[in-house]
Structure 1
């Protein structure tokens, strides 16, 4: 107590034995403490270190004096407004929060209001109470408070719901990393775009669906929470727009069902959102735009409102000039609104969004949150448009982006990776701006980052930097890039990171020289490649087949041989042809197409069950698979080995391949038709030669 004045010391002593004093002294003591700490963080910390929270909770649990309870909860709320205070209140498995929750069922409205205000403040400065997240009774209680006869209580309840959603959203990357460390497999990641060819620069990253948030949103809805919020929202002259919009914004984030309910609400919720966007001040305007953005992302807004989305863009960009909290949130709302829409990205770029965001990156006084959101917004702006990438270069912010790769804040590092990935889709930027800033080495180091999110973002970016036309390819090779990528394919349990690393190796081997192939395989090893070909994740198997396909391309040095693969090559390929996944079948066919360019492998395929299976794919509904299998037939009929050609033709005829080819002569796909004609010419030429000899 040495840091407290005498009156404060005396107050603490009274609290420790408050039952020995009358209610008047108890109340005056509590009021003294309350008045002492308001606006005085130093005093709050001194009282906190002298067990203030424990003393207040003890009083709440024992007194029947409503006024005393209100004063105690008010002090707890004030202390919760500090990092240290909120941490203390949240400690010991919520033992200090339970009395506050109990008070929410009190008959005195002022006690309910004061207690919920304290919980709201706690939720805004720390983790929200788990009781309102995992306990059905707690969730029901929270939703009932949206219908409470006091507007202030409705307001606090809406904010708490929003903060719980925000908490669930923010802890998701940490949960993923914990799962990785504990040896769990994360299977919530969407696949990269697997429909593209080997040379395509990656244009789609990982999208992790946060099932914790999604479940909570749906639970709130199932218990009537969204309905209650929409009712409050519809009330004339409502004073709760800010908190309700905040809650609706979080409940509709990435949730098609709840977005559809808001859009089609009989209470006219969508029309009111539009009205608020057009008429209210900056904060309400931004929150309304966020809700509209969620509905737009869920594709529940009719096409007839497309003009509205276009009109919103300039408003968001103007809001970047507002006060700090609005300025920080505007960029990420912009990013969500224009995601996957090249036309909206063009409109935003033409409205000078990139130059405005670039200024935030250059400003040393910008908060970390503003930097993260600005980097994310520019990444989206550059994801599809070369003109936008040029604007980034013209804004001279690539040095800042490079330096952010080494930030102490993992979220800034991850956001910088995502932006670099967007820029790396441009061949011009690979050869100029990014290379000039020597961005490859810092990115390579991030493969060892402590943050899983950073590792995933860095590996996705390296997929593009390692392509043959990239000047940074050699830098990556010289700095141990192959070993890092290979090790991560084997050592991590995270699906997306493993996929990115296999993808990068595939790109590295695209049309590679034999010396590079041999060098990569010394580090990769055939055994590790075999394990990936047998992986339990189909997208990883597909990319491993693509690695094999690139190794087998013009393979004159027998890098891909049955001996190197411990006699497992043909059986593995045969098993992949039995897959139900078209992409795996297609890649297996292209591997077969490449390996049969070698006479030894050609002979092995002709003697294997593969030759019996190929014909089954010749009338496949996928034109890509039909192209691949006809290429296989063409290469099996290669005239380079005239001695074996005759027996191969006879065998293929016997199996019905010639007749099947003839049925494809009018295929709708031009490449199928061309390859069919080539193969049939070989059949016919051999037939005429055989007839002439007779």
Structure 2
């Protein structure tokens, strides 16, 4: 029983003596001893090197040979096999090819075993194999069988019924094909019925909510079917207010994926008005995990609520998002900035002003220089949404002693993560499309004067980047700086030329990226037009 406990000591299978001892246990004629060996493997196999060592020692073959033993031994061997295969392509590939596929077929056969626990463990083993080595598990029919078996197992009492929905979630995760298959087997209706039949206090309610969340992640049909009944939508809202942390998180996950659909959000049983208030309340939750889950749902709702953003603004969400953007937890900061970015998207100028009043230029500047690159990138995307369609918003960027534009300049000059540089250049490109004051502010960032000498520009490095998105964004910025033709434009062309920017653009005439090649020609044509007009 020791190796069924989380407090059990680790067993180093990379040690030769330990491996010999383990193999001797597996060769024992005493089933209690072989079961102990299988439990040791399940508990101690935590790394790729351990998995490869066990595979090299022939452990998978020994485990398969023990499937004919007692039910307890068979289940222990299935758990061990899953541990040895999990996330290891090499081991999974070797196993799938073992005995010309005989070992693989022996596990497939066990999904029809009389024991519910054996069926669940066989499903989990096959799911691990499919994820570790998809090319060795292409059989669509077997995957459909797995879905059907797992849906049947939800009806089982105890641990098996509790964990079956989680296994289904793992199986269909990120797979449009499998989610379609699950929908075609009436998975949404079956899971919904089980959810309504169980109280929210159970582990099963958590795993069913997570399974429903995954089913709704990519399928509009699943979202529509789930929200077609009043009872289910009411239950999900009740789950947001439940005392159990896991229930609240699972409900938020469900809403996050349901709210990917603006149609369901606006026309379904779950209206945005009824959803937003409890989600905003969860931003004050004592659990960071709940706050993060609620932020995920709010991010999606903000995008799909474009015509009715006022509902969000009047909910008090912005002030709490600003507060969370200053959190010590990097994930909270990132998710809150993402939510603010999405709320800012396509918002009218008056409401953008209200958000900036809450956020402040000082906080915005600090977030641009955050310690996390992901937060920097999303903050710059937030600035991009602020500028989009609102001419006056540039004052927030260049005003207040230039706090925001200076923060952007520092990030671009330090050449941080590529995503940060791309978003920074998109902000500058947007500004450069404005009036002369805006263009000159961008010029001071891209080719600043230092003691009457022009400092080497980061723009040249960006144009030489391997990332085509960064090259395109940089070219757009240059193009906006020199258009339309004017005396001021010719001065900017001269500064860019002296900084080596135009020379680098000329070197890109045969850029492999079609977008880049097109922008390069446009930039060079505008340079020639400025010269022909007599401005240069």
1:604 is the counterpart of 2:441: yes
8 Å contact 2:205–2:247 — kept in the other structure? yes
1:270 is the counterpart of 2:115: no
1:133 offset after TM fit, Å?
7.8
Equivalent residue for 1:688, pick from 522, 532, 536: 532
1:430 is the counterpart of 2:265: yes
Alpha carbons of 1:367 and 1:511: their partners in 2 closer, same or farther (altered >3 Å)? closer
- Paired with 1:535 and 1:501, the residues of 2 have a C-alpha distance of 13
Q: Deviations over 1:539-584 (max 9, x none)?
A: 1111121122223334325433344265562464253254253212
1:675 offset after TM fit, Å?
3.9
Cross-structure match for 2:65 = 234
Cross-structure match for 1:182 = none
Cross-structure match for 1:469 = 305
Cross-structure match for 1:416 = 251
Cross-structure match for 1:370 = 204
Alpha carbons of 1:442 and 1:280: their partners in 2 closer, same or farther (altered >3 Å)? same
Using the size of structure 1 for normalisation, the TM-score is: 0.66
Bigger relative CO (Cα 8 Å, ≥ 6 apart): 1
- Paired with 1:455 and 1:264, the residues of 2 have a C-alpha distance of 45
Cross-structure match for 2:397 = 561
Q: Deviations over 1:48-93 (max 9, x none)?
A: xxxxxxxxxxxxxxxxxxxxxxxxxxxxxxxxxxxxxxxxxxxxxx
Cross-structure match for 1:456 = 292
1:496 is the counterpart of 2:331: yes
- Paired with 1:346 and 1:401, the residues of 2 have a C-alpha distance of 23
Q: Deviations over 1:424-468 (max 9, x none)?
A: 111212222332671111111112222222221111111111237
Using the size of structure 2 for normalisation, the TM-score is: 0.84
8 Å contact 1:407–1:413 — kept in the other structure? yes
Q: Deviations over 1:612-650 (max 9, x none)?
A: 33244335433322221121012102339x452232233
Cross-structure match for 1:302 = 136
8 Å contact 1:234–1:268 — kept in the other structure? no
SS at match of 2:283: helix
8 Å contact 1:468–1:508 — kept in the other structure? no
1:33-182 matches, within 5 Å, as 116=1, 119=2, 123=4, 128-132=6-10, 149-156=29-36, 158-159=38-39
- Paired with 1:478 and 1:134, the residues of 2 have a C-alpha distance of 58
Alpha carbons of 1:291 and 1:518: their partners in 2 closer, same or farther (altered >3 Å)? same
Alpha carbons of 1:650 and 1:562: their partners in 2 closer, same or farther (altered >3 Å)? same
Cross-structure match for 1:519 = 354
1:414 offset after TM fit, Å?
0.7
1:277 offset after TM fit, Å?
2.4
Cross-structure match for 2:429 = 593
Q: Which runs of 5+ in 1 are unaligned?
A: 1-115, 166-212
1:633 is the counterpart of 2:471: no
Moved more, 549-558 or 622-631: 549-558
Equivalent residue for 1:385, pick from 207, 210, 219: 219
Q: Number of residue pairs matched? A: 519
Alpha carbons of 1:305 and 1:252: their partners in 2 closer, same or farther (altered >3 Å)? same
Equivalent residue for 1:361, pick from 181, 195, 213: 195
- Paired with 2:350 and 2:322, the residues of 1 have a C-alpha distance of 18
Alpha carbons of 1:366 and 1:454: their partners in 2 closer, same or farther (altered >3 Å)? closer
1:514 offset after TM fit, Å?
2.9
1:583 is the counterpart of 2:389: no
- Paired with 2:200 and 2:293, the residues of 1 have a C-alpha distance of 23
- Paired with 1:366 and 1:475, the residues of 2 have a C-alpha distance of 29
1:668 offset after TM fit, Å?
5.5
1:341 offset after TM fit, Å?
0.9
SS at match of 1:690: coil
1:351 is the counterpart of 2:185: yes
1:610 offset after TM fit, Å?
4.0
8 Å contact 1:602–1:636 — kept in the other structure? yes
Moved more, 143-152 or 316-325: 143-152
- Paired with 1:151 and 1:412, the residues of 2 have a C-alpha distance of 40
8 Å contact 1:229–1:244 — kept in the other structure? no
Q: Deviations over 1:222-265 (max 9, x none)?
A: 57999657514313622111222234335544555654564455
Alpha carbons of 1:655 and 1:564: their partners in 2 closer, same or farther (altered >3 Å)? same
Cross-structure match for 1:201 = none
1:517 offset after TM fit, Å?
2.6
- Paired with 2:380 and 2:83, the residues of 1 have a C-alpha distance of 41
8 Å contact 1:421–1:460 — kept in the other structure? yes
Cross-structure match for 1:243 = 76
CA RMSD of aligned residues (A): 3.6
Cross-structure match for 1:480 = 316
1:272 offset after TM fit, Å?
2.0
Q: Which has the larger radius of gyration?
A: 1
Equivalent residue for 1:443, pick from 279, 291, 294: 279
Alpha carbons of 1:256 and 1:527: their partners in 2 closer, same or farther (altered >3 Å)? farther
1:624 is the counterpart of 2:489: no
Alpha carbons of 1:549 and 1:158: their partners in 2 closer, same or farther (altered >3 Å)? same
Q: Deviations over 1:584-630 (max 9, x none)?
A: 22111101112222432421332445473324433543332222112
Q: Deviations over 1:325-373 (max 9, x none)?
A: 3332221111111111101110110110000000112114576221111
